A and B are shown apart, each in its own frame.
Chain A
Amino acid sequence: MKFQPVIGLEVHCQLKTDSKIFCGCSTKFGAEPNSQTCPVCLGMPGSLPVLNRKVVEFAIKAGLATNCSISHRSVFARKNYFYPDLPKGYQISQFEEPICRKGWLDIQVDGIEKRIGITRIHMEEDAGKLVHGDVAGLEEGSGVDLNRACTPLLEIVSEPDLRSSDEAVAYLKQLHRIVTWLGICDGNMEEGSFRCDANVSVMPLGSETFGTRAEIKNVNSFKFVKQAIEYEIQRQIDLIEDGGTVVQETRLFDPNSGRTRSMRGKEEAHDYRYFPDPDLVPLVIDADWVQRAHGELPELPEHKQQRFITEYGVTGYDAEVLTASRSLAEYFEECVAFHHNAKAVSNWIMGEVTRALNDSGTTIDACPVLPKTLADLLKLIDSGAISGKIAKTVFDEMWRSGKEPGAIVEEQGLLQVSDSGAIEAIIDEIMAANQGQVEEYRGGKEKVFGFFVGQVMKASKGKANPALVNELLLARLKG
């Protein structure tokens, strides 16, 4: 029997606000344990939550960018469960009335476009974390670090519209690009700023009825998502083919073994006893607020990608690479604004700039060569002042010293020689010194031509205009 996998993803992204969702504590990562806490995020008796307005703005933006409708009224609810890293014994989340509903994202796999539904987006607070034995001042036993408690999260829940691990990864990447693009999430998967649970089931191909699903927790990289989903699909298929049945359960992905294992079954599933949080009044978002957020949205990646193709004539592939992040896309556009040869700008960003960034381990935001300076360099190439080859040397120098390309060219005397008299003089010298090769060429061995080009370029220290060298050399050799 053939099987059809059915996948839905629940993504948690930590919002890039300065302070927590219900108190004024800092959200900075990596501080001394419990140094960023107050009575509210410690769940002290008598403390009360106050909603951070920025979190709402970010949630509205995420909703608009994923084609959701923004709820006029939404309600915070308490999700009740006991765990030592959950200070109040409940998490403030949204349940029956989330802030965003019914959106979608388009993804592409193997050139085929597909629309993936988004069920809902809601705001909630994160929990703290347990630290076991390896912290200063804690010789044995476990400690609780509540710095992360009460940091703002968005949970973005997809419809079960995904049909393969590749689609799941494509969706996740698209979502990742959007939230980082909007500047609402830093997207750091290692630090857990963008994490994902996957609901996976299989059904016989052609069936309309979904199979029983397992929820896989702890899949925190694109690679692991693919691995975990594929493992889980195969596990379920094997189970069914061996005459077994899939049980509804929560499973944990182990990145070391690449397998999922059962965490808790349906019987042990929590009854979270959700109810509206009486400490927070319903959140009312008027049309003006949505309108304002809409006005503040940047041009979204998909739109920009399309526009790069139509407006600048770059290839589909180039447009996708250039819009991988908002900073990269902006770098490209800024550069094109100074120098209208989009193809050259695109080639240089995807070539030299990317290589240099990778070599030095920096990102485009910290690129020492600014778009304007890169444009200046490309202008020198296109005007024939320097060759493309020399330009690479100049670029390296720009990267290292931060100097203007014009200055480097001048200081190092790298201007291209396009004076035919000067080039002819060099050609004559080379031909005189290599009579044997001249004879060979004239005897029909045209391969020798390359040798002469090389010699001339070398003698000119690379500065001779290559096209002119070709033309003049050909004329002279043909004699």
Chain B
Amino acid sequence: MELFDFTIHELHEKLITKEVSSVEATRSILARIEAVEPRVGSFITITPEQALADAEAADRRIAAGEADCLTGIPLALKDIFLTEGIRTTCASRILHNFIPPYSATSWEKLRERGAVLLGKLNQDEFAMGSSSESSAFGITRNPWDTTRIPGGSSGGSAAAIAARQATATLGTDTGGSIRQPSSHCGCVGLKPTYGRVSRYGVIAFASSLDQVGPLTRDVTDCAVMLGAVAGYDPKDSTSINAPVPDYRAALTGDVRGLTIGLPSEYFIAGLDPDVQKVMDEAIATYRGLGAEFVEISLPHTDYAVATYYLIATAEASSNLARYDGVRFGHRSEQAEGLIDMMTKSRSEGFGMEVKRRIMLGTYALSSGYYDAYYVKAQKVRTLIMRDFIQAFEGVDAILTPVAPTPAFKIGEMVNDPLQMYLSDIFTIPVNLAGTCALSVPAGFSADGLPIGLQLIGKPFGEETILRAAHAFERATVWHTKKAPL
């Protein structure tokens, strides 16, 4: 095992026993990044100097006996998190030159614990996409098969884990953007309950759906990272003022008596046979561990994708209005006059998919269409939430596939946005309902592509799904497999 192969908890043991230093671990990972980055393309910005300075500071802290579980751990962030003094682009040309004057609360929290910043990770532009192909800074490839996409939008965050380019990463999930790439790249990824983690300093895509979460090598790391970033933030009015449990303590390995729901709407005929097979095996594994399964119904599932693409685009069309070339970011040099300057800056700065969604969202909010689209979508959202509330009256968690297929080929869906949108069909309802869910490695396709399973929890039920995922992980070997890079 190389230093770059370790999990957070393994590396932490080695750091506090002084077996290795954070500088050594960081150097190992930086070398790994250099070696594989040309084949993967996980990063938009690599910050080796920052990383080594952070690592030195961490080593001093460890020497002083003040180490935290994340002190000296080399991490990387999706380029949607603001990092003071370090360029933050959201994978968009419109922010190609943006150096933020402040940092995201979630990154601040990791920093206070002594984490090391390796750099900023690639993603779909403004987190809009499921393949990381819409980045203005080039595509990211799936480390398991570099002819395939890593998933998206947090594709860089997942690929970096699979390629051993970071010990853990942070991503954001608006409609599946943590879970789907985690499934495609064989890592653990969790979308917390809406309000669990502060959104302050995270570039907004769709404010009522966006949530920050970790992507890690195993479930223990996931619990550690969630515990570090979760909690109330007075700077985010939508963050919830509830105590943060000790998530790691919830990992008892015991799922006996746990009731897991299988929504009939998710196990439809025509599901990819590899995915179906992995799900069947996972259910059998859980049964063996003493969990019980019941069939449940989430009757409004069919409407989720349409609902999502109205609400998310409506919010995005407004959230992205601030990129006008006036105060920061790209400003057109061709422009004459104020309005022309704003129009040209936006036309030049935004990519295709972003423009498409701004137009969709603007339309949904327009006078005369607002009631038919936005208001109706909000009503359906309430029905979808209610589906979950009712389902959770009888079950502790819900098990589903993360994505209908394993990772698809690069370029395969670029010209078919609707088909691309449908690839998030199993993850989107969770964001609409505002509850939590994770993806944990559950097997491989016949082609050797990772496939994850999704565990959906009750609102603030992260402990339950982490416990269930951890028990599964202990009973299986999938998380130990390495991408053949």
Contacts and interface: CB of A to CB of B under 8 A. Distances in A.
Nearest to A270: B367
Contacts of A279: 204, 207, 237-238
A258 interface: no
Given A44-B100, A48-B236, A144-B326, A275 B88 contact: no
Contacts of A51: 237
Nearest to A40: B235
A280 B100 CA distance: 23
Q: For the complex, would chain A's binding face be called helix, strand, loop or mixed by DSSP majority? A: loop
Contacts of A82: 321, 324, 339, 342
A476 to B, nearest CB: 86
Given A273-B365, A278-B315, A279-B237, A46 B324 contact: no
B95 to A, nearest CB: 7
B318 A80 contact: yes
A87 B327 CA distance: 8
Interface string A262-291: 000000000101110011110000000000
Given A50-B237, A87-B327, A142 B338 contact: yes
Interface string B131-164: 0000000000000000000000000000000000
B207 A278 contact: yes
Interface residues of A, number: 29
Contacts of B365: 80, 273-275
A39 interface: yes
B100 to A, nearest CB: 7
Interface in A79-102: 80, 82, 84, 87-90
Contact of A45 (B88, B234, B237, B318): B88
B82 interface: yes
A88 B321 contact: yes
Nearest to B367: A271
Contact of B234 (A50, A87, A271): A50
A84 B324 contact: yes
B290 to A, nearest CB: 40
Contacts of A50: 234-237
Contacts of A273: 317-318, 362, 365-367, 370
A42 interface: yes
Interface string B181-218: 00000000000000000011111101110000000000
B322 A87 contact: yes
A108 interface: no
A90 to B, nearest CB: 5
B338 A42 contact: no
A87 B324 CA distance: 9
B328 interface: yes
A45 B324 contact: no
Contacts of B202: 46
B324 A49 contact: no
A47 B367 contact: no
Interface in B311-337: 314-315, 317-318, 320-324, 326-328
Contact of B321 (A90, A142, A280): A90
21 contacts: A43-B322, A44-B327, A45-B90, A45-B98, A45-B203, A46-B200, A46-B203, A48-B235, A48-B238, A80-B321, A80-B365, A82-B324, A82-B339, A87-B322, A142-B338, A274-B365, A278-B208, A279-B204, A279-B207, A279-B238, A280-B238
Given A43-B322, A82-B342, A142-B338, 10 more contacts: A44-B327, A45-B90, A46-B204, A49-B237, A50-B237, A80-B318, A84-B324, A271-B367, A273-B317, A275-B370
Interface of B: 82, 88, 90, 95, 98, 100-102, 104, 199-204, 206-208, 234-238, 314-315, 317-318, 320-324, 326-328, 338-339, 342, 362, 365-367, 370, 374
